[in-house]
Structure 1
Amino acid sequence: MMRTSLTVGFLGTGIMGSPMVRRIAGAGYRVAAWNRTRDKAAPLVSAGVGIVDQARDAVCDADVVVCMLSSGPACDSLLLGERGIIAAMRAGSVLIVMSSIPVDTAQRHAHAAAAHGIGYLDAPVSGGERGAQDGTLAIMAGGDADVFERSRALLQTMGRPTRIGPAGTGQLAKLVNQMMVASTIATVAEAMLLAEQGGADPAQVRAALLGGFADSTILRQHAARMITRDFTPGGPAKYQVKDTKTALAFARNVGLSLPVLGLVDDLFSDMVEHGDGELDHSALIRELRRRNGLPDS
């Protein structure tokens, strides 16, 4: 492992953040991590990560700060204001917000960072917990090209970074991604249910489709979860709903009607309302079973 002189402050060590921190530390970066619940960050000590009690302690001496919180409001609460993280960072450092947040929120963060002489990228990810563990995340970055190039090596420890355009466009790309993920999960769930109720073995149908035009990561990973009933959250459904609603709101702002996404959002919204929001988004098949009066078996 090659050591680097760069220091990283990492904010948010949840399902995605924790393996991302491990990848960064494993690449030789010095990392100080903070999480609202300290106990959830404690296992990272074995990876050489320093754990701090206050978020400001993770960022005040950092060259790069990575934010991986759950939502736009959570990021706003921590980053902005006179006592926020941006105000605590030193001029010349870089803030990378890897949370999935609204486009206008990312643009607001970029403006606040620039006012303090701080570089900014919005760089949401796709690939789930497995991608975070393996360092194969798709990373969609928005921000100035020079800030992206300064951050490229760090981002590459976590996956494959691509600069989309100016601040906010990383989040726009993530909305496009989430639209496709949510819609595909819904279609795969319907397909597995149809196979089952039609008298075929869903596992054999899935196996037959691999390698064909219907093949996808969703078919490989999420259909398998639907068949085995393993809904341990890699991507909790409550966050999928957050993203579909954000995409619909953005579409309205630019004058678009997205009818397929609207139907998918209704499905996920009902799923969450029925108490399945903490389950993996592949558990959408449970909502389809409910709608069809079928037992969850």
Structure 2
Amino acid sequence: MSAPQLARVSILGVGKMGAAAARRLAGLGYEVCVWNRSSDKARALASDRITVAETARDAVEAADLCIALLSTTDAVRQVVEECRGPSTLVLANLASGSPDDGRAVAAAVAEALPNATYVDGAYCGPPSALEQGTGQLFVSCAGGEKALDARAGAALRALGVTSFCAGVGAARALDYAVVDMAFVTLMSYASNAAMLEREGVDASVAVAAISHRLAAAPAALEAAAARMADRSDGAYESNPTATLATWRNFFDSRRPYLDKIGASRVLPDFCIDVLDRAGASGAHGGADVTRVQEVLRYNDG
């Protein structure tokens, strides 16, 4: 039995991310066509498996799957308009932006390329991870994964660990949530770096301890999601894992020490503010910490 035919792939925009995607796919045996408004960047990628398109329309017409890695939503919409026509390709928009930005491009594609399948998405990771296929790709389309051409889906999966969501905009929301989690972890470490250094805690020891704690995060988040879905005071107050008051005391206890060593209090001060708005110092002090969603999600605090 012969191997399945690979999709013809075009990359629109070959900045660092686009160039990494082109090299990744070419290295896996895909025939890749690249286009960039600054043509020098595109020509620098030319090889036996990477060709250069003179125009965006040429790139679209040469592809089964076209991946837009342009810098802005407006740039993607402009290119879509320039490529107006009957193409039946899959267009995957991985330009950074919000769920509404994804829907704006979806509308532009529906109007200018009515026969195309629009895939909305976001890539989580640096160019080096994209080139090695080790980052995370979040994608969504109107009909879900089943609506996507198998060859196009395989090419997208080759870019990294891929999560499919149903509905345009969903992938971008997921990307925001995952990136925020990573950034908050970084902020937490940075906020405590001066204390760790002063007390002689080696970075490798700290990272190992943090990693062990983060390994329990998925189960903890699933449990929190169930409590948060109820949203009633009864749910918040039933068998709390850790109360608002407990968390407040935890953050408050470090403030005198941070003042003493001249370190920033910005993170504990922020956390205490959120906890207090959620009721840590009042009637809801005994509620589970998930009650912070009343501030962070509903802004009722």
* TM-score band, normalised by shorter chain: 0.5 to 0.7
Classify 1:42/1:193 alpha carbon distance in 2 versus 1 (closer, same or farther; 3 Å): farther
The answer to whether the 8 Å contact 1:65/1:94 transfers is yes
The answer to whether the 8 Å contact 2:7/2:155 transfers is no
Partner of 2:136: 138
Partner of 2:209: 209
Partner of 2:296: 258
Q: CA deviation at 1:61?
A: 2.7
The 2-side partners of 1:214 and 1:200 are apart by: 22
1:61-72 pair list within 5 angstroms: 61-72=62-73
Q: CA deviation at 1:205?
A: 4.0
SS in 1 for 2:91: strand
2:110 is aligned with 1:109: no
The answer to whether the 8 Å contact 1:100/1:174 transfers is no
What amino acid sits opposite 1:200 in the alignment? G
- Provide TM-score, normalisation by structure 1: 0.63
Q: 1:129 aligns with which of 127, 130, 152?
A: 127
Q: CA deviation at 1:172?
A: 1.3
What amino acid sits opposite 2:69 in the alignment? M
- Provide TM-score, normalisation by structure 2: 0.62
Larger radius of gyration: 2
**Count of equivalent residues:** 214
Classify 1:208/1:96 alpha carbon distance in 2 versus 1 (closer, same or farther; 3 Å): closer
SS in 1 for 2:74: helix
What amino acid sits opposite 1:35 in the alignment? N
1:179-194 pair list within 5 angstroms: 179-194=180-195
What amino acid sits opposite 1:124 in the alignment? A
Identity of aligned residues (%): 26
The answer to whether the 8 Å contact 1:10/1:33 transfers is yes
Q: CA deviation at 1:173?
A: 1.0
Give the CA RMSD over aligned residues.
2.8
The 1-side partners of 2:24 and 2:105 are apart by: 25
Unaligned runs of 5+ in 2: 217-292
Classify 1:211/1:184 alpha carbon distance in 2 versus 1 (closer, same or farther; 3 Å): closer
Q: CA deviation at 1:131?
A: 1.8
Q: CA deviation at 1:257?
A: 5.1
The answer to whether the 8 Å contact 2:122/2:172 transfers is yes
Classify 1:28/1:180 alpha carbon distance in 2 versus 1 (closer, same or farther; 3 Å): same
Partner of 1:120: 118
SS in 1 for 2:212: coil
What are the superposed Cα offsets for residues 235-271 of structure 1, whole Å, 9 maximum, x if unpaired? Answer: xxxxxxxxxxxxxxxxxxxx98539xxxxxxxxxxxx
1:154-233 pair list within 5 angstroms: 154-196=155-197, 198-200=198-200, 202-206=202-206, 208-209=208-209, 211-214=211-214
Classify 1:201/1:36 alpha carbon distance in 2 versus 1 (closer, same or farther; 3 Å): farther
What are the superposed Cα offsets for residues 105-136 of structure 1, whole Å, 9 maximum, x if unpaired? Answer: 21122233234211011121112223212112
What amino acid sits opposite 1:212 in the alignment? H
